[in-house]
Amino acid sequence: MRYLMFVKTDESMPAGPPPPALYQAIGELGEQQAKDGSMILTGGLHGSAEGALVNLADGRIDVIDGPFAESKELIGGFAMFDVRDKDEALEHARRFLQVHADHWPGCVATVEVRRVMEDNEFVMPS
Amino acid sequence: MSIAEQSPAPRDVRRSIETVWRMESAKLIAAMVRVVRDVQLAEDLAQDALVAALQQWPRTGIPANPGAWLTVIAKRRAVDHFRRGERHERAVEQLGRVSELEGAVMPDLEAGNEVDDDLLRLMFICCHPVLSKPAQVALTLRLLGGLTTAEIARAFLTPEPTVGQRISRAKKTIERHRVAFEEPGAEERARRLSAVLEVVYLVFNEGYAATGGDDWMRPGLTLEAVRLGRVLAGVAPDSAAVHGLLALMELQASRGPARTGPSGEPILLMDQDRSRWDHILIRHGLGALERAEALAVGPDRYVLQAGIAACHALARVAPDTDWAQIVALYGQLVQLEPSPVVELNRAVALAMARGAAEGLAVVDALAAAGTLAGYHLLPSVRGDLLQRLGRTAEARAEFERAAAMTGNARERTLLLDRAAAC
């Protein structure tokens, strides 16, 4: 089964910018996870300054350009895993955060783990 | 073994430990085989490490690098084991091993090459020519896939004690022939590698087109084989055949979601809704095929088959399929490995490229040769071609014959439906 994971950090985190060693360690972990067949897709995301929010409210659609200074949930990257069960997905998430703990003291981060719908689960509402 | 019965750990911690174990056991056993050169002992030591984890981790938490932790414990147990001299007959070897072990009590687990070599060695052992094919499959799934005996038995619709016996006999054979001590040279490695590929593809096919039972596919086995293929591509990255097999499996697996209808009935390739093909797997497959073709020094069965699968993957709609290219690839495949099954596939492609009559001529030649007697796809293909030529009465008889020959219930229904529609 497949799980999509987003890593979120808090912009106001006191730890400062991520050290280069973190990127290297994440790269090495990712290489390992791709090699054992579990990580099938991964990507990083630019800061919110290069993005926007497109909102719908009261029948009106508004575009708000980034950056979003108040955001507590900056999504830094995503990865898709192909694993046997949820426990394996959680262990991969744990390893990813362990690398952060090892290389970025004071880091506060969350990995959101979501199961991807399989083709046959995706039923259009009739 | 039942972990649940031995551990006082709370359920969620125990589950995390079992998960770590399942994810790490192949690497752990592979590393232990390197140092003790005994598959059964390596597995026992790995199990000892698991028991230690079940005792300690609930108190201490899961260590930062659980794989390294398990390896350290397993190696310490190996030192204890040899010190106790439980196997006097190997005293000389043991002395060497103990000093090697003591030098390596803090292993650098992330030293990539060593892990790769260990895994490849374990694959060679599991697929060693002294073992029967079913034994190779069972041992590979057990030691490299981390599947339990019960899971393997269920996947292959075989009684659990049979699988258990198969595995324990295989381990004894390995010990008797001192297989774990072998360090094959370059030529032998190539032969061994092809045995490993054969086993992985066999597992894939069993999952992809279940030969027996009520289900058309057993996706668990398919995924396990793809996973093994990915691991293999990591540990033997210079082999065209390895990337070729991986490409073939990823591309075939990409059609998984489209291969069955709402009630589980099979849908043939040309009738599949291609928007349901898995594009992540297609991308993986095409990438692997590119690597395979760059590495290939001569024609290779897996690379050729992956090339055929890629022709399908690249066709957005069925009529776009490059059948001429597929005919050419099947032609190369038949030359490389003359096989009536491949020839039958070539006939299908030929019928698509140049008309049903040309395909039927090849199929009739195969039927006359008699080498495919008992193979249900021969009458199935023949029925299809006859139907396209408007010879419906003959077509119906062929579909009925094919239905009587297949062991798969879903496929039988499909064939009988086609007979009825003639």
Sheet holding A109-115, edge to edge: A39-44, A74-82, A2-9, A109-115
Q: What is the C-alpha separation between B47 and B76, in angstroms, rounded?
A: 13
- pLDDT tier at A121, thresholds 50, 70, 90: low
Q: What is the C-alpha separation between B258 and B267, in angstroms, rounded?
A: 7
Q: Which residues of B touch A (CB under 8 A)?
A: 15-16, 18-20, 22-23, 62, 64-65, 110, 223, 226-231, 234, 257-258, 260, 276, 278, 280-281, 284
pLDDT at position A20 over 60 = yes
Tokens of residue A57, six digits: 């409210």
Residues with Cβ within 8 Å of residue B315, at least 6 apart in sequence? B274, B321, B322
Per-residue pLDDT of chain B (422 residues; tens, 9 = 90+): 444 445 555 667 888 898 998 899 999 999 999 989 999 999 999 999 999 999 999 999 888 889 999 999 999 999 888 887 755 445 445 545 555 555 444 444 445 578 889 999 999 999 999 999 999 999 999 999 988 898 888 888 889 999 999 999 999 999 999 998 888 888 889 899 999 999 999 999 888 865 555 555 567 788 899 999 999 999 999 999 999 999 999 999 999 889 888 877 788 899 999 999 999 999 999 999 999 999 999 999 999 999 999 999 999 999 999 999 999 999 999 999 999 999 999 999 999 999 999 999 999 999 999 888 889 999 999 999 999 999 999 999 999 999 999 888 888 998 999 999 98
Which residues sit opposite B15 in a β-bridge? none
Q: Please answer whether residues B190 and B172 qualify as being in contact, where contact means their C-beta atoms are separated by less than 8 angstroms.
A: no
Tokens of residue A24, six digits: 């290297």
Tokens of residue B7, six digits: 């551990």
C-alpha closest to that of A1 among A98, A104, A120: A120
pLDDT, residue B39, reads 94
Q: Which of A80, A98, A119 sits opposite B276 (nearest CB)?
A: A119
Q: What is the C-alpha separation between B128 and B194, in angstroms, rounded?
A: 11
pLDDT at position A69 over 50 = yes
Do the Cβ atoms of B231 and A87 come within 8 Å? Answer: no
Which residues sit opposite A78 in a β-bridge? A6, A43
Q: What is the C-alpha separation between B94 and B288, in angstroms, rounded?
A: 42
Strand locations in A10-106 (E): 39-44, 52-57, 60-65, 74-82
Please tell me the distance in Å from B25's CA to the nearest CA on chain A: 12
pLDDT at position A79 over 50 = yes
Q: Please answer whether residues B75 and B101 qualify as being in contact, where contact means their C-beta atoms are separated by less than 8 angstroms.
A: yes
β A52-57/A39-44 pair status: unpaired
Q: Which of A84, A91, A102 sits opposite B64 (nearest CB)?
A: A102
Do the Cβ atoms of B110 and A40 come within 8 Å? Answer: no
Tokens of residue B234, six digits: 């990591």
Task: Please count the CA atoms within 13 angstroms of the CA of B116 that sit on its side-chain side.
Answer: 13
pLDDT, residue B10, reads 62
CB pairs under 8 A between A and B: 53
Residue with tokens 């086995």: B221
Q: Which of B231, B258, B278 sits opposite A37 (nearest CB)?
A: B231
- For B228, counting Cβ atoms within 10 Å of its Cβ (0-12 exposed, 13-18 middle, 19+ buried), the class is buried
Q: Which of B23, B227, B281 sits opposite A91 (nearest CB)?
A: B23
Q: Please answer whether residues B20 and B66 qualify as being in contact, where contact means their C-beta atoms are separated by less than 8 angstroms.
A: yes
Number of helices (H) and strands (E), helices first, in chain A? 2, 6
Q: Please answer whether residues B71 and B109 qualify as being in contact, where contact means their C-beta atoms are separated by less than 8 angstroms.
A: yes
Which residues sit opposite A81 in a β-bridge? A3, A39
Residues A23-29: what's their mean pLDDT? 93
Please tell me the distance in Å from B75's CA to the nearest CA on chain A: 23
State the Cα torsion B340-B344-B350-B356 to the nearest 10°: 130
Q: What is the C-alpha separation between B228 and B221, in angstroms, rounded?
A: 10
Do the Cβ atoms of A36 and B22 come within 8 Å? Answer: no
pLDDT at position A84 over 50 = yes
Q: A5-21: b or e for each residue (b if 16 or more CB lie within 10 Å)?
A: bbbbbeeebeeeebeee
Looking at the whole model, is its pTM more than 0.90?
A: no
Residues A62-85: what's their mean pLDDT? 83
Residues with Cβ within 8 Å of residue A49, at least 6 apart in sequence? A66, A67
Cis peptide bond prior to A67, omega within 30° of 0: yes
Contacts of A40 in chain B (CB under 8 A): 280-281, 284
Q: What is the C-alpha separation between B207 and B400, in angstroms, rounded?
A: 25
Q: What is the C-alpha separation between B128 and B192, in angstroms, rounded?
A: 7
| Straight-line distance from the first to the last Cα atom of chain B, in angstroms, rounded to the nearest whole number | 54
Which residues sit opposite A53 in a β-bridge? A64
Q: Which of A35, A82, A118 sits opposite B231 (nearest CB)?
A: A35
C-alpha closest to that of B197 among B131, B245, B263: B245
CA B202 to chain centre: 6
pLDDT, residue B4, reads 45
User: Nearest chain B Cα to A80, which residue?
Assistant: B280
